[in-house]
Copies of this chain bind each other. A is one copy, B any other.
Amino acid sequence: MPSSIGSDEKETGRIEAFSDGIFGIAITLLILNIKVPKAADIHGKASLLQALGAQWPAYLSYLNSFLTVLIMWMNHHKLFRHIRRSDHVFMILNGLLLMGVTIVPFPTAILAEYMHTPEARTAAAVYSGSYLAIAILFYVMWHYASHSPALLAHHDDRESVAAISRQYHFGPLLYLVAFVLSFVSVWASVGMCIALAIFFAFPGVTKTHAR
């Protein structure tokens, strides 16, 4: 029935549009965490350049959060290429994942505010812990979809599905390491989060070229 396939695609299309909107807004709101030094505050004490330089933790956490949300969006995008239909449970799992994405500005601001204070480890734990939670939500959503034949696309090749499954198995484990590292060293934990963003950005560049 071509018409029913058409209406299915439209439905998934609206879920994707809604998700894209939320990813786009969450990633754009991150900049609001970087404050402009007030002219009155720095007058006579420091130059604007020094005041801007002192905010480096805000830039670092911004950069990492932007890249991580960007890569989440790319993975979300790739995941939905295998999805043909949705159901209530899938929409709720996707909604919980989007909740995780919209929360990102909050741990990002915490890391920026506390990275050069004695509370830096707690901040790093909140930061890496948030990404751990999102990685788990990605895993759960994909696990549900990849085990529901009604949701998967017909043109689906088993190999790519298995490749995504492997990647999503590792995600939570690797972010768990970043989370545990935060109790040992702030830099090890934050560095691991940055490394993971890069790792998830290039899961076999050459292979996906032709897609």
> Which of A's residues lie within 8 Å of B, judged by CB?
3, 7, 11, 14-18, 20-32, 34, 36, 38-39, 42-43, 47-49, 52, 66-67, 70, 73-74, 77, 81, 87-89, 91-92, 95, 98-99, 102-103, 105-106, 109-110, 113-114, 117, 119, 122-123, 126, 150, 155, 201-202, 205, 208-211
A117: B residues at CB distance < 8 A: 39, 43
Q: How many copies does the complex hold?
A: 4
Decide: B30 and A150 in contact? CB cutoff 8 A.
no
Q: What is the bound-complex CA distance between A160 and B60, given in angstroms?
A: 39
Nearest chain B CB to A191's CB is how many angstroms away? Answer: 20
Question: Which one of B67, B102, B210 lies within 8 Å of A27 (CB-CB)?
Answer: B102
Q: What is the bound-complex CA distance between A23 and B70, given in angstroms?
A: 15
Decide: B48 and A114 in contact? CB cutoff 8 A.
yes
Q: List 14 A-B contacts (CB under 8 A).
A: A11-B81, A18-B20, A21-B23, A21-B25, A25-B25, A31-B105, A36-B109, A36-B113, A39-B114, A39-B119, A52-B110, A66-B99, A87-B205, A87-B209
A27: B residues at CB distance < 8 A: 22, 98, 102
Q: What is the bound-complex CA distance between A14 and B75, given in angstroms?
A: 13
Q: Of all chain B residues, which has the CB nearest A108?
A: B36
Nearest chain B CB to A105's CB is how many angstroms away? Answer: 6
Q: What is the bound-complex CA distance between A40 and B1, given in angstroms?
A: 63
